[in-house]
Amino acid sequence: MKPQDTLHFSYQALRAYPGRTALILLAMCIGVAAIILLTSLGEGARLYVIGQFQGLGSNLLIVLPGRSETTGGAPPLIGTTPRDLTLDDALALQRSPAIKEVAPIILGAAPVAYESREREVTIMGSTPSLLSARQLELASGQSLPDSNPRVATAVCLLGETVWKELFANRNALGEWVRIGGSRFRVIGVLAGKGQSLGSDMSDMVVIPVASARNLFNAPSLFRIIVTAESQGQLAQATQDIERITRQRHDGENDITIIAQDSLIGTFDNILSALTWALGGIAAISLLVAGILIMNVMLVAVSQRKAEIGLLKALGAPTAQVLRLFLTEATLLASAGGAIGLLLGLGGVLLLNQAVPDFSAQPPLWALIAAVVITFLTGLLFGSIPARQAARLDPVAALSGR
């Protein structure tokens, strides 16, 4: 039998049973689309989180008050309540040669008003180092004064959203805004940076750290952002931070230092594993589709026993009958795979349009795996009933036995 005749015969057989064919195609393309969509989601989540971390800048260390034991352990005993981090603690860190910049941070919320407009926003008290450490840029004006950070000055930088809301895109430089109960002069506007680790940097006002201390009447820092001189100095910087802080805190090691790199690495690993797991779940769904295909093919074989018997009575060799059924399975697999691929990629496109911040994309391995698994399941689960069909004796098959 010529290959094109085999193909044509199988194609006609598939068209003769549209319900069965549609069912198998549906199962296949759901399986393939599921693999693509789920792995895209996983991969998108990974890229999103890594992007968020990289938005923080590299060489970054974050110092938090309190010791958080990631390995569990007993709850802190009485008397070991961690000390607050103070501005002096932060400024002391500048002694370390491994440390390039130190940005102490006080965080609070307060209404910001200009003329008749008012908006409740996050207020971040810090030093000029904040801008370079978090890779923030000025759209206009100048940064915070580089003078003694212990001195409060009544100046502020507006985030892009705050500026647009309060000034309706008009010039803000030199204008006075009211933050809480005090007046601050606008000396700069930040360029839009968008989301960074969950905090919307554009809906925020930055003021000198000493001013924030006065405004919120709170001497303690929310955290300290430290940049090392280089990536290679991160370990040295970490050691120095611990040593200096312990000296200042009566020998207590009561801070937590988070290195951005290790965080990224951890999240990367977790999220890669998640993507694989999602891919695995989807692969199982394709396997289920394969079993469905086998069932439907088995039914098809018994429905078409007389036809198989006839083919054998006309002198079709066993291998030819096998080939006919495998061709059917392959046709189903390619059509189901192709439709599933289109559906999956279309779904990813829709998803990306619906959630602009999220760029889901299927990893290459998932695409290849989806196609390979489709063909394997199609052939494997198609060949079992095909084998059964081809083994039948012509009389037995003809009489439907």
Partner 1 sequence: MTDPFITLRDICRHFQVGDETVHALDHVSLDIHAGDYISVMGPSGSGKSTLLNALGLLDQTNAGSYRLEGRELTTLPEEQRAQVRREKIGFIFQSFHLIPRLSAADNVALPLVLTGMPAAVRKTKVQQALAGLGLQDRADHRPAQLSGGQQQRVAIARATIMQAPLLLADEPTGNLDSHSSAEVIRILEALNAQGITLIVVTHDTDIGKRARRQVRMVDGKVVADEH
Specify the stretch interacting with partner 1 by CB under 8 A; choose among 99-107, 226-234, 303-311, 349-357. 303-311
Binder to partner 1 among 317, 349, 350, 365 (CB under 8 A)?
317
**What is the Cα 313 distance to its own chain's centre?**
60
Q: Does 7 bind partner 1 (CB under 8 A)?
A: no
Q: Given the complex with partner 1, which of 43 and 307 has the nearer CB atom?
A: 307
Binder to partner 1 among 72, 315, 353, 354 (CB under 8 A)?
315
Q: Does 12 bind partner 1 (CB under 8 A)?
A: yes
Q: Does 398 bind partner 1 (CB under 8 A)?
A: yes
Instruction: Pick out residues in 16-75 that bind partner 1 (CB under 8 A).
Output: 16
Under 8 Å between Cβ of 347 and 36: yes
Q: Does 395 bind partner 1 (CB under 8 A)?
A: yes
Q: Does 354 bind partner 1 (CB under 8 A)?
A: no
Binder to partner 1 among 101, 160, 254, 307 (CB under 8 A)?
307
**Alpha helices in 304-358, H assignment, sequence order:** 305-313, 318-354
**Alpha helices in 304-317, H assignment, sequence order:** 305-313
Q: Given the complex with partner 1, which of 8 and 150 has the nearer CB atom?
A: 8
Q: From CA 64, how far away is CA 79, in angstroms rounded?
A: 19
Nearest distance from C-beta of residue 23 to partner 1, angstroms: 18
- Tokens in use for 1? 């039998």
Specify the stretch interacting with partner 1 by CB under 8 A; choose among 212-220, 239-247, 343-351, 390-398. 390-398
Binder to partner 1 among 256, 320, 334, 361 (CB under 8 A)?
320
Specify the stretch interacting with partner 1 by CB under 8 A; choose among 48-56, 215-223, 293-301, 393-401. 393-401
Which of these, 332, 342, 349, lies nearest to 297 by C-alpha position? 332
Total residues at interface with partner 1 (CB under 8 A): 26
Q: Does 394 bind partner 1 (CB under 8 A)?
A: yes
Binder to partner 1 among 20, 305, 312, 323 (CB under 8 A)?
312
Binder to partner 1 among 22, 277, 291, 306 (CB under 8 A)?
306
257 phi and psi, to 5 degrees?
-115, 125
Specify the stretch interacting with partner 1 by CB under 8 A; choose among 11-19, 86-94, 259-267, 327-335. 11-19
Q: Does 100 bind partner 1 (CB under 8 A)?
A: no
Distances (CA, A) of 236 to 7, 80, 137, 231, 317: 69, 26, 28, 10, 77
Nearest distance from C-beta of residue 24 to partner 1, angstroms: 18
Specify the stretch interacting with partner 1 by CB under 8 A; choose among 132-140, 204-212, 278-286, 304-312. 304-312
Nearest distance from C-beta of residue 325 to partner 1, angstroms: 15
Under 8 Å between Cβ of 322 and 383: yes
Cβ-count burial 272-304 (b if 16+ within 10 Å, e if not): eebbeebbeebbebbbebbebbbebbeebbeeb
Distances (CA, A) of 355 to 41, 138, 151: 12, 28, 44
Q: Hey, CA dihedral for 167, 170, 172, 175, is it positive or negative?
A: negative
Specify the stretch interacting with partner 1 by CB under 8 A; choose among 106-114, 174-182, 201-209, 312-320. 312-320
Which of these, 353, 348, 346, 331, lies nearest to 15 by C-alpha position? 331
**Alpha helices in 17-102, H assignment, sequence order:** 18-54, 87-92
Specify the stretch interacting with partner 1 by CB under 8 A; choose among 142-150, 162-170, 238-246, 302-310. 302-310
Query: What number of CA atoms fall less than 13 Å from residue 130's CA on the CB side?
Result: 25
Distances (CA, A) of 217 to 84, 108, 214, 294, 326: 14, 11, 5, 72, 78
Specify the stretch interacting with partner 1 by CB under 8 A; choose among 35-43, 113-121, 301-309, 349-357. 301-309
Binding flags for partner 1, 207-236, as an x/- string (CB under 8 A): ------------------------------
Nearest distance from C-beta of residue 309 to partner 1, angstroms: 8
Name residues whose C-beta falls within 8 Å of residue 400's C-beta, 6 or more positions apart in sequence.
Answer: 305, 306
The contact set with partner 1 (CB under 8 A) reads 1-2, 5, 9, 12-13, 15-16, 306-307, 309-320, 393-395, 398
